[in-house]
Homo-oligomer: A and B are copies of this chain.
Amino acid sequence: MPKTENTEIAEKDLDQGESLLAKLALEAELADYSPVKGCMVIRPYGYAIWELIQSTLDKMIKDTGHQNAYFPLFIPESFLQKEKEHVEGFAPECAVVTYGGGKELEEKLVIRPTSETIINHMFSKWIQSYRDLPMLINQWANIVRWEMRTRLFLRTTEFLWQEGHTAHVTKEEAEEETLKMLNVYKTLSETILAIPVMDGIKTENQRFAGAVTTYCIEGLMKDGKSLQMGTSHYLGQNFAKAFDTKFQDQNGQLQHVHQTSWGVSTRLIGAVIMTHHDEKGLKLPPKIAPVQIVIVPIYKEQPDKEMVLDKCKEILNNLSKDFRVKIDDREQLSPGWKFNFWEMKGVPIRINLGPKDISNNVVEIVRRDTGEKLKNVQQKGLNEYLLKLSTEIQENLFRQASEYLNKNTFTVTDQKEFTEKMKSGGYLICFWCGNENCEEILKQKTKATIRCIPFKLPVDQIQEEGYCISCNKKAKEKVIFAKAY
């Protein structure tokens, strides 16, 4: 593996990735630790990123025919127990309310770790006929899954997410929905977050508790670890049977519905941080940057100051039609300090404006993605110039991340190579016999797990048959191994 700027971090001790994440998130004021273990506070700058992701995804979810609703935070403990695998998967992570209104509760309430159970309870009331189907519901909500250690945005006891829940007449329709929404997530990740992803199927080990099939998108972070960025589950009739969610079909027969559920969370902000950064700080893709352009006035003396600030305001007014733009006119801070500050914050484009620029009717532009300085850019036509530049930066960040992904994805055929390569992280593609023990053996040795059975492999790695990386038996399935968060 050639040493490049992009892969530098991955070769260090992988745990440094986490402290880097914390450093970047705290310094840029995206988040803070809460007094309650495992919880976090999302600060305004981080929440603004979430709002931009949310509004984009919300539109995509509505455009595919779904409606938003809101279901209760509290789930009766007995509900969780109705689906056997579901309770086994989630019970150990639950926060439990035992007192309410000054009294001990007769039935304990679980704080939703996910809402399949409560939603199925409601679906069983709302769905009577095939005419009520498909039922396509989405919810934006907070979720609680107990964590002892806080990894800001990536693993926290409480997080924000959306969860889609749908019910269909046929298995085929439900399966199609599952993949459609996985694809929505992939599009969101690649075109909005500028993060290339591997999409595929989870092995039984990593399947959602209660699902028939779990699909996922996984992104390779700059510390060489893989991050599960979104999942879409085909639930079959598991929950429908547990909650007796039935409809009368066109022949008057009662049938259980076929279901899906799918979700992404504030973890996506973690993915953005861990994909787009350098030693100076964050590099936000323009589409989700709360501030896309910052204008830094540069002056030394009083008469200049007024003129420079006036021109900055004029430029701000013009740009604010097309961009989220801001002037940093704080008096007590030097331009140099401001440059570092906004680079750390990941603002994609900076405009430096001084008296000389003004007399020449130009500005100086600095790109955050490449660090490139664009001198003497004409003020005339600046909006068009910046719209183009902004698209270029968005695409370039995706390109950089894709290069990193490609450089750190390898096909391996023997276990020694596997162990050696996995030291520096990345994705290892190899054959696997399908036996959980074989995965476990490699996990013990390297901490890596199977991230997914990928839909598609890079062209040069296609091969029909091979031998399991662990037991050497003949295998047909190609899987991706990586260390995960």
Q: Give chain A's interface residues, CB within 8 Å of chain B.
A: 32, 34-36, 39-44, 47-48, 50-51, 67-76, 79, 91-102, 109, 111, 118, 121-122, 125-126, 131, 137, 141-142, 144, 146-148, 157-158, 160, 332
Contacts and interface: CB of A to CB of B under 8 A. Distances in A.
A41 B122 contact: yes
Given A32-B125, A73-B158, 13 more contacts: A34-B71, A35-B79, A36-B76, A41-B122, A44-B69, A47-B68, A50-B70, A73-B144, A74-B95, A94-B99, A101-B148, A111-B111, A131-B332
Contacts of A51: 68
A80 B142 CA distance: 22
Given A36-B109, A74-B158, A92 B101 contact: yes
A271 to B, nearest CB: 18
Contacts of A73: 39, 111, 142, 144, 158
Nearest to A45: B67
Nearest to A142: B73
Given A93-B101, A95-B97, A102-B92, A47 B70 contact: yes
Nearest to A42: B70
Contact of A67 (B48, B79, B98, B126): B48
A95 B99 contact: yes
Given A32-B125, A67-B44, A39 B72 contact: yes
Contacts of A102: 91-92, 146
A69 B92 contact: no
A326 to B, nearest CB: 13
A32 B122 contact: yes
Nearest to A55: B55
A358 B285 CA distance: 51
B122 A76 contact: no
Given A101-B148, A148-B101, A36 B69 contact: no
Contacts of A96: 97-100
Contact of A48 (B36, B39, B68, B74): B68
Contacts of A332: 131
17 contacts: A35-B79, A35-B118, A36-B109, A39-B73, A41-B70, A41-B71, A41-B122, A48-B67, A72-B158, A73-B111, A73-B144, A73-B158, A93-B101, A95-B100, A95-B101, A97-B97, A101-B148
A62 to B, nearest CB: 10
**Which of A92, A99, A148, A332 counts the most B-chain CB atoms under 10 A from its CB?**
A99
Nearest to A135: B44
Contacts of A94: 99-101
Contacts of A69: 41-44, 47
A111 B50 CA distance: 23
Nearest to A34: B72
Contacts of A68: 44, 47-48, 51
A95 B100 CA distance: 4
A142 B121 CA distance: 21
Contacts of A32: 122, 125-126
Contacts of A48: 67-68
A74 B160 contact: no
Contacts of A43: 69
Contacts of A40: 72
A98 B100 contact: no
A136 to B, nearest CB: 9
A429 to B, nearest CB: 35
A223 to B, nearest CB: 26
A142 B158 CA distance: 13
A158 B101 CA distance: 12
A46 to B, nearest CB: 8
Nearest to A119: B41
Nearest to A138: B44
A32 B126 CA distance: 10
A111 to B, nearest CB: 7
Contacts of A71: 34, 41
Contact of A36 (B34, B74, B91): B74
Contacts of A97: 95-98, 111
Contacts of A126: 32
